[in-house]
Amino acid sequence: MPKEPLCIVGTGKVAQALIKNLKAYYLLHITSPSEDRAQELAEKYGINHIPYGNPLPHGRVIIVRKDADIEKTSEEISQFAPFTSHIHMSGMLSSDVLSSEKRCSMHPIMSITPDTSFQGVLFAVEGHIDICTDIIDALGGKYFQIDTEKKAIYHTALVFISNFTALNTLMGLALLREVGTLPPEIVDSVRNLSYTSIDNVLKYGKDGLTGPAARGDHETIEIEASLLDGFLRELYILQSDVIYKLHSGGGDNSEKDDSSKI
Ligand SMILES: NC(=O)c1ccc[n+]([C@@H]2O[C@H](COP(=O)([O-])OP(=O)(O)OC[C@H]3O[C@@H](n4cnc5c(N)ncnc54)[C@H](OP(=O)(O)O)[C@@H]3O)[C@@H](O)[C@H]2O)c1
């Protein structure tokens, strides 16, 4: 059976990972306003380059440009390729930013580089999901559907889980360097500490939180906060305060206190 055409719009990390993982299943085309890069990737991966603005094969396009460019790109494609359905992979934007009649978003819950395999990766999908589920199947992924209007809160959740956890680790590493020369084994120890802390919360919810604030060790918190300046100090106190409130019955119910959600 001839392969169905599928057009990748964009030339970044996700575009390259998609090309590598989907080449065997679809007749892939690439187009992008960055003509040189699109041409280069077409040659590198042996797929067809279509100059941006030229008619595209009827079918689907996956817009994997920067989030800020997705809406405009969809509008432009609707002008020069009006019979295409549009898909994007942004975590925050919903399919509402796309201008095609059939549209959806498929967001993989993982960090992607050109070498990423999507085998077993979970995607959050919304919109006309029938236009993307076969692509996720071909990638070896899995999916669950969310409401279009819940897309932004879904992404906010992932920012807490991914970005803020990583930021706290980065800040911890900076402070550890102040301790002095560290052995190479510190990397594994940090990874182990971080993974087990996350695992404890996944297993036990807020009861899985440990540390001075969970124990109510106010003196330790005061001493440690006094060693810090600027936003490190603010983040230490704010996070300790939230953990303490969670362990002492949910806080003072002021407007600013949302700990009952946790
Ligand atoms: N990477 C991730 O971990 C990840 C995970 C989930 C979802 N996403 C989503 O996937 C979409 C694409 O993200 P991405 O990570 O592929 O973005 P990216 O690597 O930053 O690429 C985005 C765009 O930046 C331009 N670009 C990239 N590398 C360039 C270079 N070396 N020189 C010049 N221009 C370059 C390209 O412009 P043109 O568009 O003009 O070709 C490319 O399409 C976004 O909607 C993002 O939210 C990303």
pLDDT tens-digit profile of 13-48? 999 999 999 999 999 999 999 999 999 999 999 999
Strand pairing class (48-49; 142-145): unpaired
Please identify, by atom number, the ligand 1 atom nearest to the C-alpha of residue 14.
16
Q: Tell me the three state secondary structure of residue 217.
A: coil
Cα distance between residue 187 and residue 183, in whole Å = 8
Distance (angstroms) between ligand 1 centre and the Cα of 14 equals: 6
Q: Which of 32, 81, 40 is nearest to 59 (CA)?
A: 81
Per cent of the chain over pLDDT 70 is 95
Q: How far is the CA of 171 from the centre of ligand 1 (A)?
A: 27
Is the pLDDT at 249 greater than 80? The verdict is no
Is the pLDDT at 117 greater than 70? The verdict is yes
Is the Cβ–Cβ distance between 38 and 49 less than 8 Å? yes
Is ligand 1 within 6 A of the CB of residue 65?
Answer: yes
Please count the structural domains in the chain.
2
* pTM confidence score: 0.89
Residue nearest to atom 20 of ligand 1 (CA): 12
Quick one: 224 and 140 in the same domain? Answer: no
Same domain, 138 and 198: no
> How many beta carbons lie within 10 A of that of residue 98, not counting itself?
27
**CA 31/CA 41 separation, integer angstroms:** 10
127, 205: one domain: no
Residue whose CA is at the smallest distance from ligand 1 atom 19: 12
Are the C-beta atoms of residues 60 and 95 closer than 8 Å to each other? no
Closest CA to 41 of 21, 12, 65, 62: 12
Terminal CA-CA length for the chain: 51
| Angle, CA 58 vertex, CA 40 and CA 143 arms, to 5° | 80
Residue 176 to residues 14, 173, 213, Cα–Cα distance (Å): 34, 5, 20
Q: Domain end: 91, 120, 146, which one?
A: 146
Does residue 250 line the site of ligand 1, with CB under 6 A? no
Cβ distance 126 to 147 under 8 Å? yes
Residues 141 and 195 in one domain: no
Ligand 1 near 10 CB (within 6 A): yes
How far is the centre of ligand 1, averaged over its atoms, from the C-alpha of 7 (Å)? 16
The verdict on residue 250 lying in a domain is yes
Percent of the chain at pLDDT above 90? 92
Same domain, 102 and 229: no
For residue 16, which atom of ligand 1 is closest to its CA? 16
CA of 56 to the centre of ligand 1 (A): 21
Query: 206 CA to middle of ligand 1, Å?
Result: 36
Q: Mark whether 110 and 214 lie in a shared domain.
A: no
Contacts of 164 (CB under 8 A, 6+ apart): none
Give the per-residue pLDDT at 66: 97
- Given a contact cutoff of 8 angstroms between Cβ atoms, the answer to whether 29 and 52 are in contact is no
Instruction: Give yes or no for residue 252 having a pLDDT over 50.
Output: no
37 close to ligand 1 (CB < 6 Angstrom):
yes
Examine residue 177 and state whether it is found in any structural domain, yes or no: no
Q: Where are the beta strands (DSSP E) in the chain?
A: 5-9, 27-31, 48-49, 59-63, 84-88, 103-108, 122-127, 142-145
Q: Residues 126, 145: contact at Cβ < 8 Å?
A: yes
| Per-residue model confidence (pLDDT) at position 258 | 64
Domain edge (last residue) among 94, 122, 146: 146
Contact 14, 32 (CB under 8 A): no
User: How many beta carbons lie within 10 A of that of residue 118, not counting itself?
Assistant: 22
Range of the domain at 201: 183-261
Going by CA atoms, what residue is nearest to atom 9 of ligand 1? 90
Q: Is residue 238 part of a domain?
A: yes
Q: Are residues 110 and 22 in the same domain?
A: yes
Provide the pLDDT for residue 253. 47
CA dihedral 162, 166, 167, 172 (to 10 degrees): 150
The CATH number of residue 25's host domain is: 3.40.50.720
pLDDT value, residue 65: 98
- 51 lies in some domain: yes
